[in-house]
Amino acid sequence: MIKFTIRRLLITFPQLILLSVLVFILASLMPGDALSGLIDPDIPREQVELMRERLGLNNPWYIQYRDWVWAMVSEGDFGRSIFHQRPVMDLIGDRIWNTVWLSLMTVFFIYAIGLPLGLISGRYNDTITDSIITGYTYLGFATPTFVFALVLLYLFGFVWPVFPTSGSVRAGIPPGSLDYVLSKINHLVLPSLSVALIGLVGTVQYLRSGVIETKQKDYVILARSKGVKEGKIYSRHIFRNSIIPIAAFFGYEITGLLGGSVIIEQIFGYPGMGRLFLESISTRDYSVANVLILFYGFLAIVGALLSDIILSIIDPRIRIK
Amino acid sequence: MSNNILEIKDLKVHYPVRGGFFNTIKDYVKAVDGVSINVPVGTTYGLVGESGSGKTTTGKAVMGLNHVTEGTIMFNGHELTGKGKKVDNHKDIQMIFQDPYSSLNVRKRVFDIITEPLNNYESLTKAERVNRVLELLKIVGLPPSAIYKYPHEFSGGQRQRIGVARAIALRPKLIIADEPVSALDVSVQAQVLNFMQEIQKEMDLTMLFIAHDLGVVRHMCSYLGIMYRGRLVEEGTVDDIFNNPQHLYTKRLVAAIPDIDVDHVEKNLVLRNQLKEEYEQNFADYLDEEGRAFPLQQISDTHRVALPVRS
Amino acid sequence: MSTENNNLYDNINVGDLPKSTPGWKIVVQEILADKLALFSLIIFTLITCYVFGLTLFLSLRDIVTVDLFAINVAPNDEWRLGTDYGGRDIFGQLIIGTRNSLAIGILVTLLSVGFGIVYGVICGYFGGHIDNAMMRFVDFMIILPFLMIVVVFVTIVPSYDIFTFSLMMAVFLWMGTARLIRSLALQERELDYINASRTMGSSHFKIIFTQLLPNLVGIIIVNGTLSLAANIGIEAGLSFIGFGFPEDYPSLGTLMAYAQNTQTLQHRPWVWMPAAILILILMLCVRNVGEALRRAGDARQRQG
């Protein structure tokens, strides 16, 4: 187990290095550099040249890359935002919790709605209820999240305004109060629900086929022939075995949501990291965009690692490979 | 012995077993571990052994389907292995596979299957190819209507005939038959074996016949080699093996052949049980410390046995 | 063998020999058997033909020219689907937009699935060290945040057309196909017909393309249709956040993007709603066809 984890960790290092190289290349391809936004156009050219030299912008690319990585690793220096005139990390720090809350809320909805639906349609397969649920997953697979989110926003934000249409909290409430928390949750419902209602179709389909497969297994038939109650058979035997693949993909699910938040945050005007990314692209604030790509890539690596480790605990065959 | 078409000398096929932290090579699986075989031209050499004894690996090594760790394989005086090899052996050596289902591509018509080797080695017109395929179908006893059908439209025995037609399409000199009938119904086995013998006579083929069933090889072969865990334990003519088995393993194999003569049932059973007991008690003596068979010793002109070296 | 029998083999007219059902005919039969899939296919074909046919008669310049006297007109007799804030005809934009979205979706699918097949089949067929090294690269590509990278690419690249845009998307979308094809090729190469081809003297190249791939055609078609559905959505999403094509080069996504304006979203649904519905219909139709093919393929596998 430990051996597998360590070996799996070793694979992530080259991935991290490759990711940082890619981001570095992207950064150097982007128009302008760290100085173009900082410098007053009145400053004479020679002085700019001097500053460039001092900042190491004239060094060969591998030295620049080394310095860049070194600054991140040793000092936690991820650069400054030219547009906001603040360290990038501060900007991300402002936004990250909003995205985390949004993701957690989405995950909550996915499992709170998806698991019962999957169980019901698997247990009562080929009934009308099952057909409705299956039909829903069919539609869900074919609907892009952003289209669905827009429709929800149109319906529940404007036509029948029950939820706020943008922001993460109502202005003017002191942080920490109960009202503040409730307002936050109120702002989260629509975006997280629109992601979850589309995102849960995979879970439902997986669970449904898992349940249908498991309930034909010999040990389930044995339990039934021994007179175990139907409800108990489902809670003890079938649910536990069908949930395994879903549990294993938990890591991917979380990072997928964190990464997929760009469009949703844009639609709901939700001030999270995805929105920060689009803002920084449109204001040509590339230093922020680069750190965000690095960050999301890092998250994906961690998510994949997490899922692999969970899988190896559940399924010993993976470990041998 | 210069009329050997195939000479395998000290063939070894080892597979590394990786493990540990850095996935380094920890050990080897010795699938074939020092096998030497000579097959005289125009004969059938039977290679017999249980599953995992390395007989199929030996055959595939001759075909170039496996890498060869050590040893040489000479075909008609040309070396097939090692760096000096650049003789294309596929025109003269062909193979008949064990599984008539997976060895035929389900997406290909019989015509495409049989012409594949022809397309690679001979440039023929479409009409010539059709005639050639029809000719081959006739040899293996399939109707001409089979030509544009797909493999799934045939029974196992018929599929194996298609496999044979493909193998003889280039008129090879040597055919490696890898348990060609073990996947077939017993009633079909005899048919296929008989027509393979006919073809062998007609086309003057040499055959390396791999099997796990001594009854089948007795019918087909003139020479036999018995393999156990990657090594030969006994080798000789059919007569040597069946009437004068020396190695305990061979003795047991021979005793295990069912006898249709009802009068012998009792006697055979006693003999079989006797051998079983002896096998359980003494078989370890026939193997060295690593559980491998000893080197072969010549006991007559044709007969070689891996008897324990008495020291 | 008797002479009578011998005659059986002579004087054969090649044309008289029986032929089997070719692969594409089976695919057609499967779609015909599934009512929903057939219906979806007809709808999809009608939309495609209508859109591609009509664009021959529509002038892009007329449509995207700003008309200040017809701003935000609701659907009426003159403007069948109304106009946007620049007085541009929504119907015309919808037609040209659908054509562009379909073209990009198809192109991205061809590029990404094509590359994925080649990559995956090389990994699976050769296995061993080649497979190991190549799959590490796939693992890396998969962790990249797709949307962000494409957004960055779109901003870096000074100008692009349908092909280069599709290429940029395809570069980050081939990994799923590659993984799928690899795992299938790994199973397939253990079968003896591959060994048989090698003993027949066929080259690796020839074996891959004439022996192995034909056996994966069914799965490739399914994978391709499902990818097409997804890619139509992805393009729309990118254009929606403003990193696809500009407004004067309409796609379904750019029409949706008008809805980012709260006023448009709330009061002028005729601008974005038709595009939303069309995206849904197109994706649903393509997916239905793909799913039907997949089910048929699974059933055939079960039969053996």
Break chain B into its structural domains and give their ranges.
4-92+170-305
Contacts of residue A76, defined as CB under 8 A and 6 or more positions apart, other chains included, come to: A89
In a domain, C20, yes or no: no
In a domain, C264, yes or no: yes
Contact (CB<8Å) C201/B106: no
Q: Are the beta carbons of C84 and C259 closer than 8 angstroms?
A: no
Q: Token pair of A318, please?
A: 């993976």
Contact (CB<8Å) A281/C265: no
On whether ipTM exceeds 0.90, the answer is no
pLDDT at A41 over 70: no
- Containing domain of residue C299, as a range? 27-303
Burial class of residue A284, CB neighbours in 10 A (0-12, 13-18, 19+)? middle
Tally the C-alpha atoms within 13 A of residue A58's C-alpha that lie toward its C-beta: 7
pLDDT reported for residue B287: 77
Q: Are the beta carbons of B210 and B179 closer than 8 angstroms?
A: yes
A260 CB near a chain C CB, below 8 Å? Answer: yes
Nearest to A154 among C151, C265, C283 (CB): C265
In a domain, A58, yes or no: no
Q: How confident is the model at residue A196 (pLDDT cuts 50, 70, 90)?
A: very high
**Over chain A, what is the mean pLDDT?**
82
pLDDT at A190 over 50: yes
In a domain, C21, yes or no: no
In this prediction, residues B97-102 reach a mean pLDDT of 88
Read off the CATH number of the domain in which C292 is found: 1.10.3720.10
**C234 residue type, one letter:** I
Determine phi and psi for A29, rounding to 5 degrees. Answer: -80, -20
pLDDT reported for residue B73: 87
| C-alpha closest to that of B295 among B100, B33, B15 | B33
A146 CB near a chain C CB, below 8 Å? Answer: yes
Sheet holding B223-228, edge to edge: B93-96, B174-178, B206-211, B44-49, B223-228, B231-237, B304-305, B297-298
Stretch (H or E) spanning C219? helix C213-240
Cα separation values, C29 from A186, C22, C24, C25, C293, Å: 51, 11, 9, 6, 10
pLDDT reported for residue A168: 77
- Containing domain of residue A168, as a range? 88-314
B108 CB near a chain C CB, below 8 Å? Answer: yes
Contact (CB<8Å) C233/A301: no
In a domain, A51, yes or no: no
* Chain A residues whose beta carbon lies within 8 Å of the beta carbon of residue B21: 3, 6-7
Contact (CB<8Å) A29/C156: yes
Q: How confident is the model at residue A32 (pLDDT cuts 50, 70, 90)?
A: low
B21 CB near a chain A CB, below 8 Å? Answer: yes
Best residue of B94, B103, B107, B123 to probe chain C, by most C CBs closer than 10 Å: B107
In a domain, A18, yes or no: no
Determine phi and psi for B308, rounding to 5 degrees. Answer: -60, 145
Q: Measured between CA atoms, how close is C220 to chain B, in angstroms?
A: 15
Q: What is the pLDDT along chain C (304 residues), one digit of tens a residue?
A: 344 444 555 555 555 554 545 556 666 777 777 888 889 999 999 999 998 888 888 776 667 677 666 666 677 766 667 777 766 778 888 888 899 999 999 999 999 999 999 999 999 999 888 998 899 899 889 888 888 888 888 888 878 888 889 999 999 999 999 999 999 999 888 888 998 888 888 888 999 998 899 888 888 988 999 899 999 999 999 988 888 877 678 888 888 888 888 888 888 888 888 899 999 999 999 998 888 888 777 766 554 4
In a domain, C15, yes or no: no
- The total domain count for chain C is 1
∠ CA B128-B129-B132 to the nearest 5 degrees? 85
Contact (CB<8Å) B149/C199: no
Nearest to C144 among A142, A278, A297 (CB): A297
In a domain, A44, yes or no: no
Stretch (H or E) spanning B160? helix B156-168
In a domain, A31, yes or no: no
Residue with tokens 């809320």: A105
- The pLDDT tens digits for A278-314 are 888 888 777 788 888 888 888 888 888 888 887 777 7
Best residue of C137, C152, C153 to probe chain A, by most A CBs closer than 10 Å: C152
Q: Are the beta carbons of B208 and B62 closer than 8 angstroms?
A: yes
C-contacting chains (≥3 CB pairs under 8 Å): A, B
In a domain, A19, yes or no: no
Read off the CATH number of the domain in which A143 is found: 1.10.3720.10
pLDDT reported for residue A321: 44
In a domain, A306, yes or no: yes
**Over chain B, what is the mean pLDDT?**
83
pLDDT reported for residue B1: 44
- The total domain count for chain A is 1
B24 CB near a chain A CB, below 8 Å? Answer: no
| C-alpha closest to that of A306 among A249, A245, A243, A258 | A249
Residue of A nearest to C275 (CA): A147
A150 CB near a chain C CB, below 8 Å? Answer: yes
**A269 residue type, one letter:** G
Cα separation values, B223 from A36, A225, A292, B174, B259, Å: 86, 59, 73, 15, 22
In a domain, C19, yes or no: no
Q: Which fold has domain B4-92+170-305?
A: Rossmann fold (3.40.50)
In a domain, C158, yes or no: yes
Best residue of B18, B21, B24, B26 to probe chain A, by most A CBs closer than 10 Å: B21
In this prediction, residues B179-189 reach a mean pLDDT of 84
Classified as helix, coil or strand, A55 is helix
Classified as helix, coil or strand, A74 is helix
* Chain C residues whose beta carbon lies within 8 Å of the beta carbon of residue A144: 233-234, 236-237, 279, 283
